[in-house]
Chain A
Amino acid sequence: MPADVAGSARTGAWRGRRRAGRPPRRITPGLLVLCALCLVLFVWPVLMLAYGAFRTAPPDLGGSFSAHGFLATLSDGSMWQAFGNSILLSGSTVLLSTALAVYLAWTVTRTDTPLRRLVTPMMVMTFAIPPLFFTLSWAMLGQQPVGLLDKALHALFGVAPFNAQSWYGMIGVSVLAATAAEYLLLLGPFLALDRSLEEAALVSGARRLRAFVTIELPALAPSILGVMILGFVLGLGFLTVPLLLGEPAGIYVLPTEIYRLIDGTSPANYAGASTLSLLLVAVVLVLVAAQQRLIGRRSFTTMTGKSFRRERLRLGKARYVGTAVILVYGLLALVLPLGQFVLGSFEPYFGVYKHLSLVNYRTVLGTAGTGSAFWTTVVVAVVAGFCASCLAVWIALVGQRSRSRLRRLPDLSLWLLWAVPGITLSLGIIWAYLSVPGLKRLYATQWIVLLALVVGTAPIASRALSGPIGQIARDLEEAARTAGASAFRATVGILLRLVLPAFAVSWFLAGIVASGNLDIPILLASPTNQTVPLVAYNLYDNGSLAGAAAVFCLLLAGIACVLALGAAVRGVLGLRARRLLGGDRAPQGAGTTPAGGVG
C-alpha cells in the first residue's frame, strides 16, 4: 500500500482517488428498486388511510371526497370513549407487565432464586404461542360456570368471582402475553450492563438493594422506558384480546371499533374506520417521536468493561418469593391455558367433562374449509416469513453498505410500520389495492393476505436481522474482493453465507407470527381462503369453543413440529461443522458472530 501512504500526505488527492475507486453516493438501480418497493409496500397503505378517511364510499365503489365521515367520527362521543378505553387498557397492561418483566429479569440475572433457569425458556414459549391462543383459552378458563378455573375455584372456595370477559380479564391476559415480550427485550440490557457499576456502588458502601435502585435501575432506565413505550404502542393496536374478552362485556377499544365499523355496521363505514386508524397512527407517531426526544440522547448503551463472573445476590429464605412468582406465572401463562385447551378439545361440547373423545378433531378435519385453512396457513406463514426476511436482509444491506443519501429511506419506511397496528394495516392495504383498477383482482385472494403478512412481519424480521448483519465486519467482504471475487460473489459467498443462521431465526420468527396473526386475515381473507386463526375465531364466535380448541391444538402441534425440526437441523449442522473444523474453531469464529450472541 505504498501509494496510499504517500497519498495520505496530501489528503485532498487521496480523498479524490478514494471517491473514484469506490463509487460513493451513487444511486444504483438496485437501490432505486428497493426504495420504490418500500414506498409501495410500506408507505402507500398508510397514505391511503388518510385518503380513505375522506371518501364517501368503500374502496371498490368509487364515491367522492368529503370531510363528512371524518368529522362525524371525530365528533362521536363513543369513539372517544373507545379511545380512552384503549389508553386505559394499554397503559395499565404496560405498567403491570413492565414491573413483572423487570422483576423477573432482575431475579434471573442477579439472584440465586431457585428455578430461575426456567424463566427464559418459559418466556420464549409464551412468546411463540400466538396471542389468540391465550385469549381463547382464558376465555374458556374463566367462562362461568363451565371453565376449568371457574370450576376449580368453585370446588375450593364455593365462589368464583373471576370472569375473563371483563376489564380484569382483558388486562390480566394482556399482561401475561406482554410480560414475555418485555422480558425477552429487557434480558439483553440486564446482561449487558457493566457489572462493575453495581460493584462500585457496593464498595462505596451501598447495600445490594440500594445499589440496584440508585445505580442499576437508573442506568437501565432508557432501555426500560423504550420497552414501555413499545409495549404501550403495541397494546394500543392490539385487536385479539379486546375482541374476544372485551366486546362480549360491552367494552370497546379503538381496534375493535375499527373492526366493528367495517364488519359490524351496514353499510360498512370505511371512512370512520380510516379516521380511527389515522388517529391511532398519529398517537403512536407522537409517542415514538417523544421517545426519541426523551432518551435518544441519553443512551447508556456504551456498557464497556470486562465481564467477570459475578456472585449472585443471596436472598436467603426470601428467594422462594421469586420461585413462587415464576411458578404462578408458568401456571397462568402456560400450564392452565394449555391444559384447558387440550382438555377442551376432547370435550364433546365445551364444559361437558364426560365422554371425552376425538369427535372435535374428526369434525374439524372433516370440514373441507378447515383442511384447506391448515394448508393456507402453512403456505402463507412459510412464504411470508421467507419474503419478509429477504426484504429485511436487503434493507439492512443497503442501509449499512450504500453511500447514497437514499439508503435511509427503506429503513425509515420500515419504522413507520411499527406505528401501524395490524388492523389498520389491513385497512390501509384494502384502500391501497382496491383503489387501483388492475390490483383490485387481488382482493379476496390468498395473495393479498400473503402480501399483507409480508408487510406486517417485515419489522420483526428486520429487528432479527439488522443487528447480525451489522456485526459482520466489512473487512470480510473486502478480503473476498481483494482475493478476486466480484461484488456479487463476495456478497453471496461471504456475507449471505454468514447471515444464514440469523436468517433462519428471522424466517422462523416471522413465520410463527404470521401463522398466528388474526388482524390481517380477519379483514382480508375471504371464506374460501381462511387461515387457522380466523377459523378458530369464527368457531369461537359461533359458540363452538371445543372446536376452536381442537383447531388450535393442531396449530400448536404444527409449530412444535417446526421447532423440533429446527432444533434437529441445527444439531446436525452443528455436528457437521464441528467435524469439518476439527478442534480448530477459534480462527473461524474470531471475526464475526453472525448469530449475534451476547457479548
Chain B
Amino acid sequence: MAGVRIRGLAKRFEGKVVLEGLDLEVGDGELLTLLGPSGCGKTTTLRCVAGLERPDGGEIHIGDRLVASPAAGVHEPPNRRGIGMVFQSYALWPHMTVFSNVAYPLRIRRRDRATIRRQVLEVLAAVGMEAYAERSVTALSGGQQQRVALARALVAQPQVLLFDEPLSNLDAKLRIAMRRQIRAVHDQAGAASVYVTHDQEEAITLSDRVVVLDRGVVQQVGTPRDIYRRPANRFVADFLGFENLLTATVVGGGGDRVGLRLAGAGGGVMASSTHPRLAGETVVLAVRAGDIACEPVPTAGSPGDPAGGLLGTLVSTEDAGDRVERTVEVGGQRLLARSPETEGDPDVLRPGDAVLVRVAPTRAVALDDTGARPAETRPHHHRPAASTREGT
C-alpha cells in the first residue's frame, strides 16, 4: 500500500509551536491539498513528509514504511523516502542543462544511459519541454522552469509527490494552465500527492480533498465542494471568501436546518447547520455576497415570516461592470450583496432606501460563534470578535 499516513505530528521552532497533534491520511492516487494562511504549518508538514525537517513528535508512514518517529528514533533521510518534490522557487540547478536536471534522480539510482535518455525525454514530452532538453535552465521562463521542475519530480516514478506552493511565482494566466497540467500529471502518475497552497481557488479546483489548517491545527477536512459551501467554522468561512459573517440568534428548526433572526432586522433567514441547535443560541451566519439579493420593500409584505427576508437600509451601491455590489445595513450590522448586472438596475435603489434582503436558504450556513474546531486544545484561538463584516 502506498500513500502517506501522519499521526500526531508535532513540530516546534525555537520553542514556538508550529504543529501539534496533526493527523492526516493521503490515499493512493489521491491529491490532497493543505490550505491555509502563511505560518499555519502547511509547509512544515510537507517538509516533515519529505524528511527535510525532523518532527518533534508523532509518526509518518509512507506506504507501509515508518519514515519518521522521534519516539522510536526513526528518521529516514529524504534521499531514501522515494518521493518527488516541486519547490516554490523551482530549485533548478543553474549549472546543469534541462536534461541533466531531469536526469539527476535517475543517475543517482544508477540507471543505464539508454534508460535515462528514454525516460527523461518521455517525461519532458509529457510536460511539453522535449524541445528544450539541451538548454540551460537559467535561459528559461518561469513557466518553463516550473515544467522542468515538475518533470524532475516525476522522472523516477515516486510513490509520493509533494508540491510546495509551486504556482505562486507565476502570473495568473500561466497559473491556470499549470494547474491543469499538474492535475493531469498526477492522474497519470497515480501517486499520492500532497499539495501546499494559500490560494483557495487553486485548492478548490485542483484537489480531491482539502485540509484547511490554521496555526498548526486542522480546521476542516473535506471535498472541495464541502469546504466551499459548508465551512466548518468561522475561520474556514472567512478564509474561503465568505464576505458576510453576521451575528444571529437561533429561533427554531431542528436537525440540519435552522431558522435565524438578526437583531433589529425584521424577518429571518433559513440556514444549514452541521448539528442541531437550541433556540436562543447565538451563531455566526455565513453567506457569500453572491447568494444575497436586494429588492425594494413591497408595500404589503409579511416581514414576520423567517423565510421572508431581512429588512435593511441601502448604504451604498458600487457598479462593478458585470455586477452590482450593494452594502446594506441590517439592524446595525453591514452586509454585502452582489447581483448580476441585468437583475438590478443600479438606479432603482438609492442610498437611504429601505430594502428587503433575501438570502438563498440553501447557501446560508450557521456556524459556532467560537473559533477553531479543537477549541479545547487551543483556547486562545479566536479571530477578533467583530460582529460586523463590511463588504468593500
Contact = CB atoms under 8 A, between A and B. Distances in A.
Interface of A: 194, 196-197, 199-208, 210-211, 214-215, 218-219, 221, 298, 300, 302, 304-306, 308-311
A204 B89 contact: no
A55 B163 CA distance: 71
Interface stretch (B79-87, B283-291, B340-348): B79-87
A308 B41 CA distance: 13
Interface string B77-120: 11111111101110111110000000011001100000000000
B268 to A, nearest CB: 45
A302 B89 contact: no
A98 B92 CA distance: 27
A200 B91 contact: yes
Nearest to A204: B105
Contacts of A208: 77
Contact of B87 (A210, A218, A298, A305): A305
Given A200-B152, A207-B79, 16 more contacts: A194-B89, A199-B50, A199-B78, A200-B85, A200-B92, A201-B93, A202-B77, A203-B81, A203-B83, A204-B104, A205-B79, A205-B82, A205-B156, A206-B108, A302-B94, A304-B89
B43 interface: yes
Given A218-B95, A311-B54, A305 B88 contact: yes
B378 to A, nearest CB: 23
A300 B95 contact: yes
B93 A219 contact: yes
Contact of B91 (A196, A218, A221, A309): A196
A278 to B, nearest CB: 37
B186 interface: no
A306 B43 CA distance: 12
Interface centre among B13, B43, B79, B83, by most chain A C-beta atoms within 10 angstroms, is B79
A308 B105 contact: no
A194 B137 CA distance: 15
Contact of B95 (A201, A205, A219): A219
A199 B93 CA distance: 11
A201 B105 CA distance: 8
B388 interface: no
B52 A202 contact: yes
Given A219-B93, A304-B89, A210 B83 contact: no
A470 to B, nearest CB: 22
B89 A305 contact: yes
Given A300-B95, A306-B89, A199 B52 contact: yes
Contacts of B77: 202, 207-208
B47 A204 contact: no
Interface of B: 13, 43, 47, 50-54, 77-85, 87-89, 91-95, 104-105, 108-109, 138, 149, 152-153, 156, 162
Nearest to B158: A203
A157 B33 CA distance: 67
A371 to B, nearest CB: 53
11 contacts: A199-B52, A200-B149, A201-B104, A202-B77, A206-B108, A218-B93, A219-B94, A300-B94, A305-B87, A306-B88, A311-B53
Contact of B93 (A197, A205, A298): A197
Contacts of B83: 203
A302 B89 CA distance: 11
Given A202-B79, A205-B79, A196 B87 contact: yes
Nearest to A203: B85
A204 B91 CA distance: 12
Contact of A205 (B50, B52, B53, B108): B108
A160 B310 CA distance: 99
A215 B138 CA distance: 15
Contacts of B13: 309
A304 B89 CA distance: 7
A310 B13 CA distance: 11
A214 B93 CA distance: 10
Given A205-B105, A215-B93, A219-B94, A302 B78 contact: no
A200 B108 contact: no
Which residue, of A200, A214, A309, has the highest number of chain B Cβ atoms within 10 A?
A200
Nearest to B104: A204
A438 B103 CA distance: 70
B71 to A, nearest CB: 18
A214 B138 CA distance: 18
A116 to B, nearest CB: 18
Nearest to B105: A204
B84 A203 contact: yes
Nearest to B164: A196
Given A194-B89, A308-B47, A204 B138 contact: no
A307 to B, nearest CB: 10
Nearest to B109: A205
A302 B138 contact: yes
B150 to A, nearest CB: 12
Nearest to A222: B95
A588 B54 CA distance: 36
Nearest to A218: B95
A202 B104 CA distance: 11
B146 to A, nearest CB: 13
A200 B78 CA distance: 10
Most buried by A among B52, B53, B80, B81: B52
